[in-house]
Amino acid sequence: MADISIIVPIYNAEKYLQKCLDSLINQTKKEIEIILVNDGSTDDSEKIIKTYHDQRIKYFKNKNQGIGKTRNFGIEKATGKYLMFVDSDDYLAVDACQKLYNKITKEKLDFVICDFYRVEKQQKIKIEIPHFENSTLKENSKLLLTINLSPWNKIYKTKMIRDNNIKFLENVKYEDAVFVINCMKYSKMIGKLDEALNYYVIHTNSETTIRDKKVFDILVVVEEIRKSLKDIDILKADLDTLTISILMNYNIQQRVQEDWVVGKKFIEESFNYLRDNIPDYRKNSYFKTRGIIRTFIEKNEIITKLYCNVYRIIKFKMKVN
């Protein structure tokens, strides 16, 4: 049995896969298994994978099922005491596994997060998650607003995930947020390692940057998060703030929506959701951190639509010229 199972979902990643895999096989911690799940790639990803002959690699090839099902499949195949997730276009610091493993084992934690680098156009920006002492979600409800909702830059106790049947949502985009929330919910102790060990790579026209009709999935995700945490009274205020934060962020992102009809409809449904579930959302503490202009735009549905549409028009004119 490996100490850590690293799950890597792969779909048409030939441009970035080698850097990712090199960062895994060269980890200073050797007691790992690397679970590569090819989600029906149509490029040369498989050829790249087959150039590696490391016995710690377990390779699976499936038909295209989406990243949620692919990660869940990886969890099923994992034998490690701890789990990590790495996206196929990201990479790790060479000592990431060792440092995260030391933290989670020595301090008897269920879940540890670390800082990370955001890599875009060859620029590396360090993202520091505010430090917190070992705690639980019930002891420190602000963790709900502190911990980023992506599965990477984290290590998890496998038993905690399996005992609580924690899975990624399937057949929706933004599936990872609910997984991370539930790991926070069921962890008996969560820790923070104040080092940047994960390199999160942003590509133009990637799933991360494109906005299309799948944006409506975020409403499904938000509802699942609220259902999961609704019975924990101490979290209500921060859960409302998290909900508002997520929806306001995606409202503003409609300025880069491919289809403005879709963007406008999403903004309408987003505000309807807030009115139905958080009637006093305008008074939420979220807006105290946004600045006067941003708050003015975000609080009002009509102004949000106007801002996004004007932005789109200006960007279109710039492209034409």
1 — pLDDT class (breaks 50, 70, 90): confident
- Residue 18 predicted with pLDDT over 60: yes
317 — pLDDT class (breaks 50, 70, 90): low
Q: What is the residue-averaged pLDDT of the chain?
A: 94
pLDDT per position as a tens digit, 148-186: 999 999 999 999 999 999 999 999 999 899 999 999 999
- The pTM is what? 0.93
Query: What's the rounded mean pLDDT across residues 43-67?
Result: 96
DSSP 200-232: EEE-TTSTTT-BSGGGGHHHHHHHHHHHHHTT-
Query: What's the rounded mean pLDDT across residues 122-136?
Result: 95
DSSP state for residue 214 in the 8-state scheme:
G
- Residue 207 predicted with pLDDT over 70: no
Output the six-digit token pair for 172: 């929706």
Residues whose CB falls within 8 Å of the CB of residue 191, separated by 6 or more in sequence, listed in order: 103, 104, 107, 109, 111, 112, 113, 134
Closest CA to 304 of 269, 259, 258: 269
Strand extents, DSSP E, the chain: 4-10, 32-39, 57-62, 82-85, 91-92, 111-120, 123-127, 154-157, 190-202
Which pLDDT score is estimated for 70? 97
209 — pLDDT class (breaks 50, 70, 90): very low
Question: Considering all CA atoms of the chain, what is the largest pairwise distance in Å, rounded to the nearest integer?
Answer: 60
How much of the chain exceeds pLDDT 90, in percent?
A: 90
Which pLDDT score is estimated for 205? 54
- Residue 316 predicted with pLDDT over 80: no
Which pLDDT score is estimated for 114? 98
Output the six-digit token pair for 126: 């360090």
Whose structure tokens read 């997520």?
A: 246
- Residue 321 predicted with pLDDT over 90: no
Output the six-digit token pair for 146: 């502190």
Query: What's the rounded mean pLDDT across residues 175-199?
Result: 97
